[in-house]
Amino acid sequence: MDYETILVSKEGKVGIITLNRPQALNALSTKMVHELTAALDEFGKDDEVRSVVVAGNDRAFSAGADIKEMADMTAVQMAMGEHFFALWNKVGRFPKPLVGAITGFALGGGLELAMSLDVLVAADTAQLGQPEINIGVIPGGGGTQRLTRAVGKSKAMEMILSDKRIGAEEAKTLGLVSRVVPKEVCVDEAKKVAAEIATKSPVAIKLAKMAINKAFEMGLSDGLDFERELFYMLFASEDAKEGMHAFMDKRKPEFRGR
Residues tagged active-site: 65, 109, 112, 132
Residue 46 or 163: the one with the smaller Cβ distance to ligand CAA is 163
- The residue range among 2-10, 36-44, 57-65, 152-160 that interacts with ligand CAA, by the rule CB under 6 A, is 57-65
| CA distance to 16, 122, 144, 254, per residue, from 188 (Å) | 11, 11, 30, 25
The alpha-helical segments, DSSP class H, found in 74-152 are 75-77, 85-92, 109-116, 148-151
Given a contact cutoff of 8 angstroms between Cβ atoms, the answer to whether 103 and 185 are in contact is no
Among left, alpha and beta (phi > 0; psi -120 to 50; other), residue 136 is left
- The CA dihedral of 235, 45, 213, 124, to the nearest 10 degrees, is 120
67 binds ligand CAA (CB under 6 A): yes
- The residue range among 48-56, 132-140, 202-210, 220-228 that interacts with ligand CAA, by the rule CB under 6 A, is 132-140
Min separation Cβ 166 and ligand CAA, Å: 14
Identify the CA nearest to 84 among candidates 117, 122, 113.
113
How far is it, in rounded angstroms, from Cα 9 to Cα 194? 14
Which of 27, 128, 159, 208 forms a contact with ligand CAA (CB under 6 A)? 27
Residue 65 or 205: the one with the smaller Cβ distance to ligand CAA is 65
Which of 33, 35, 61, 64 forms a contact with ligand CAA (CB under 6 A)? 64
Q: Could you tell me which residues come within 8 angstroms of residue 187 by beta carbon, excluding any fewer than 6 positions away?
A: 53, 55, 101, 103
- The residue range among 2-10, 129-137, 145-153, 191-199 that interacts with ligand CAA, by the rule CB under 6 A, is 129-137
Residue 8 or 27: the one with the smaller Cβ distance to ligand CAA is 27
Which of 97, 108, 202, 253 forms a contact with ligand CAA (CB under 6 A)? 108
- The residue range among 50-58, 107-115, 180-188, 241-249 that interacts with ligand CAA, by the rule CB under 6 A, is 107-115
Which of 112, 189, 227, 239 forms a contact with ligand CAA (CB under 6 A)? 112
Give the sheet arrangement for strand 60-62, strand by strand.
Answer: 60-62, 105-107, 127-129, 166-167
Min separation Cβ 224 and ligand CAA, Å: 33
Identify the CA nearest to 164 among candidates 128, 209, 114.
128
105 binds ligand CAA (CB under 6 A): yes
Residues interacting with ligand CAA, by CB under 6 A?
24-25, 27, 63-68, 105, 107-109, 112, 131-132, 134-135, 139-141, 143
